[in-house]
Structure 1
Amino acid sequence: RPGGGAPVVSLTTFPFFHVAAFTSLYAVMAAGGTLVMMRKWDAARALELIREHKVTHYAGVPTTALQLLARARETGDGLESLVLLSTGGAAAPPAVTGELAEGYGERIAPRNGYGLTETCGGVLANVGAEYREHPGSVGRPSPATEVRIEAPGDDGVGELWLRGQSLFRGYWGNPEATRAAFAPGGWFRTGDLARVDAEGRVSIVDRLTDLVIRGGENVYCVEVEQVLQAHPDVLDAAVVGVPHPLLGEEVGAVVRLRAGSPAGAEGLRAHVAARLAAFKVPAHVLVRDEPLPRNGGGKVLKGELRELFAPLGPG
């Protein structure tokens, strides 16, 4: 709120070619705050900047947020000035709220949300106590945003459609893509699968293109990824569909473990099996030492991960 509360000093680590950067940029401008930026992400340097500028708000993708918290834990940094840790640009694993609660109680509020380039940035938000209570949700829509779940299945999951004043008018020079993106009545087809609970909270389940259909059963990659990321030795994980001659697809997972972890592929499969239905358990688990490939906005490059499974052949 402009003119209200303590001055906002935000360390914004999103690249400025990603729309998530502007969600925090415009909010900081509206509050008359200060923006602290980094040319290149480095967790140790981020801690220095937070101390030097008394940063109150952090904004970045979940991967950098977790790296920041891990570095703070290793060095004993209390993050004394920080009051809000906001993530976006990719699905946030439950570890974000867990790490905050374990290290700082409720002093640092977690924030998550949802938005697209086509919505000019974030249009849903989940903050503070509500986020801690519902960590799998991206929150409720802004007052100027309408939400609709199109063609929901028995589990309430369908494509997320949005309508409101922040929506773009169309793709530049591409009328065919624009017509395909909008449904009658001005509804924008996001391409994301979601559900809405009775109180209006939206949970993103997966991308339509990431859905794995195994023998007629829908497997939402985000759900399996979150279970894997909840394993204490897992630093990062991503799930993709692997072709199978009879089932159509099987579930494949690429996982990065903490150094020296004894967990292996079978241990990770058992971890998932204890929490999800059998058809959702990854049939193939690849463990790697290096970080998962991501684009500049922090999203995992799943096309590259699918290529890792190509040597397995169909089935």
Structure 2
Amino acid sequence: AAASALARGVIPGQGSAPVSLMTFPFFHVAAFTGFYGAMAAGGTLVLMHKWDADEALRLIRAHRVTHFAGVPTTGLHLLEAAERAGDGLEGLTLFSTGGAPAPPALVARLTARYGERVEPRNGYGLTETSGGVLAHFGDEYRAEPGGAGRPTPVTEVRVAGPSGEELPDGEAGELWLRGQSLFRGYWRDAAATEEAFGDGGWFRTGDLAVRREGRVSIVDRLKDVVIRGGENVYCVEVEGVLHDHPDVADAAVLGIPHPVLGEEVAAVVRPRPGAGVTAGALREHVGGKLAAFKVPARVLFTDGPLPRNATGKLLKNRLRVLLEAAPPLTGG
């Protein structure tokens, strides 16, 4: 928040106190950011017992909310509800998401509707880092919507190769972190603690990342990478392209077993109400932006919401069961 203020030529802490609609559950570390940020600024928190986009719009109007904070899914729901209702979200000045990867289309959609009046903010953090340690906001976020931002001043970042060596800019490797806010270890689990930390106190996050000129982009979870015939397919990248399609409300990409290739790329898609999009049209859409080996060979449509946990992360094990139980697709 301080870096954002300075980038806009504002002294941090000045101006009116924020009124924040915070939709993260308090058992999740992402709630720390909103709670302590409001406390530090003498602001107000508006809370919801359960997420409902229409109720969120009512609360924003009733309490003159200036800041929204939630997972990307709730953020997209809020934008859709505002469009349906013709609500200009006039008092909103900050739109912040976290807890799960945000599709690049989110910030583009926010900017197209509200211009630069509403500042987009994103970032990256873990329970093990006591919350956010990378921050992405404003013009840098608009210019690089797939990024996670820059580290805090007390966080060191390394993108590491298989042997722990630091990789040069532009190469994907595991994100390692070291700094003030990291935890000491897992409670009563010395083996897990030893496995999590490398030499020199570096914490292995389990996330694949790329660094360019100090900015970090999260590519995918190491365990979520689909290895198709020796080629790496990053699910987050394909999900982002699917989200760009105007008929797609939500999408998840994962790997399923293949007898020759080892793994094949598959997608579970929730279309927008009334949309007539086909699997063939979605594969063509992805193929127009990504390499052919990244195009989902299987596309399963669902009418209901994709399974997520309370913090917005996709439950891919449940999706994998759905895909494996579905009959083979034929035609478009």
- Out of 256, 278, 283, the residue aligned to residue 264 of structure 1 is 278
How far did residue 309 of structure 1 move? 2.0
**Structure 2: which amino acid aligns with 1:182?**
F
How far did residue 103 of structure 1 move? 1.3
- Out of 195, 198, 204, the residue aligned to residue 183 of structure 1 is 198
Q: Please give the alpha-carbon distance, in whole angstroms, between the structure 1 residues aligned to 2:325 and 2:129.
A: 39
**1:215-253 alpha-carbon deviations (Å, 9 max, x no partner):** 000000000000001001101001010101111000010
Is 1:12 the equivalent of 2:27? no
Q: Please give the alpha-carbon distance, in whole angstroms, between the structure 2 residues aligned to 1:272 and 1:77.
A: 32
**Structure 2: which amino acid aligns with 1:160?**
L
Q: Please give the alpha-carbon distance, in whole angstroms, between the structure 1 residues aligned to 2:205 and 2:66.
A: 32
How far did residue 135 of structure 1 move? 0.5
Which SS does the other structure have where 1:18 is aligned? coil
Q: Which residue of 2 aligns with 1:303?
A: 317
Q: Please give the alpha-carbon distance, in whole angstroms, between the structure 2 residues aligned to 1:176 and 1:313.
A: 42
Is 1:95 the equivalent of 2:102? no
**1:215-234 alignment to 2 at 5 Å?**
215-234=229-248
Could you tell which deviates more after superposition, 247-256 or 3-12?
3-12
Which SS does the other structure have where 1:185 is aligned? helix
**1:1-315 alignment to 2 at 5 Å?**
3-151=13-161, 152=167, 156-197=171-212, 199-311=213-325
How far did residue 311 of structure 1 move? 3.0
Q: Is the 8 A contact 1:3 1:32 kept in 2?
A: no
Q: Which residue of 1 aligns with 2:164?
A: none
Q: Please give the alpha-carbon distance, in whole angstroms, between the structure 1 residues aligned to 2:235 and 2:168.
A: 17
Q: Please give the alpha-carbon distance, in whole angstroms, between the structure 2 residues aligned to 1:86 and 1:154.
A: 27
**Structure 2: which amino acid aligns with 1:163?**
R
**Structure 2: which amino acid aligns with 1:246?**
V
Q: What runs of 5+ residues in structure 1 fail to find an aligned partner?
A: none
> Is the alpha carbon distance of 1:312 and 1:271 closer, same or farther for their aligned partners in structure 2, counting shifts above 3 Å?
same
Runs of 4+ in 1 over 6 A off after TM superposition: none
**Structure 2: which amino acid aligns with 1:172?**
W
Q: Is the 8 A contact 2:169 2:210 kept in 1?
A: no
How far did residue 287 of structure 1 move? 0.8
How far did residue 208 of structure 1 move? 0.5
Q: Is the 8 A contact 2:21 2:65 kept in 1?
A: yes
**1:74-97 alpha-carbon deviations (Å, 9 max, x no partner):** 111111111000000111012211
Could you tell which deviates more after superposition, 176-185 or 23-32?
23-32
Q: Please give the alpha-carbon distance, in whole angstroms, between the structure 2 residues aligned to 1:280 and 1:85.
A: 31
> RMSD of the alignment, in Å?
1.5
**Structure 2: which amino acid aligns with 1:192?**
D
> Is the alpha carbon distance of 1:235 and 1:153 closer, same or farther for their aligned partners in structure 2, counting shifts above 3 Å?
farther
How far did residue 155 of structure 1 move? 5.8
**Structure 2: which amino acid aligns with 1:213?**
I
How far did residue 260 of structure 1 move? 1.5
Q: Please give the alpha-carbon distance, in whole angstroms, between the structure 1 residues aligned to 2:13 and 2:32.
A: 20
Q: Is the 8 A contact 1:239 1:251 kept in 2?
A: yes
| Count of matched residue pairs | 313
> Is the alpha carbon distance of 1:11 and 1:246 closer, same or farther for their aligned partners in structure 2, counting shifts above 3 Å?
same
Which SS does the other structure have where 1:41 is aligned? coil
**1:119-156 alpha-carbon deviations (Å, 9 max, x no partner):** 00001010111110110101000000000000149960
Q: Please give the alpha-carbon distance, in whole angstroms, between the structure 1 residues aligned to 2:29 and 2:169.
A: 34
Q: Is the 8 A contact 1:73 1:103 kept in 2?
A: no
> Is the alpha carbon distance of 1:155 and 1:124 closer, same or farther for their aligned partners in structure 2, counting shifts above 3 Å?
closer
Q: Is the 8 A contact 2:30 2:99 kept in 1?
A: yes
Q: Is the 8 A contact 1:236 1:292 kept in 2?
A: yes
Which SS does the other structure have where 2:249 is aligned? strand
Q: Please give the alpha-carbon distance, in whole angstroms, between the structure 2 residues aligned to 1:47 and 1:221.
A: 32
Using the size of structure 1 for normalisation, the TM-score is: 0.97
Q: Please give the alpha-carbon distance, in whole angstroms, between the structure 2 residues aligned to 1:3 and 1:89.
A: 25
Q: Is the 8 A contact 2:169 2:211 kept in 1?
A: no
**1:94-132 alpha-carbon deviations (Å, 9 max, x no partner):** 221122112111100000000000000001010111110
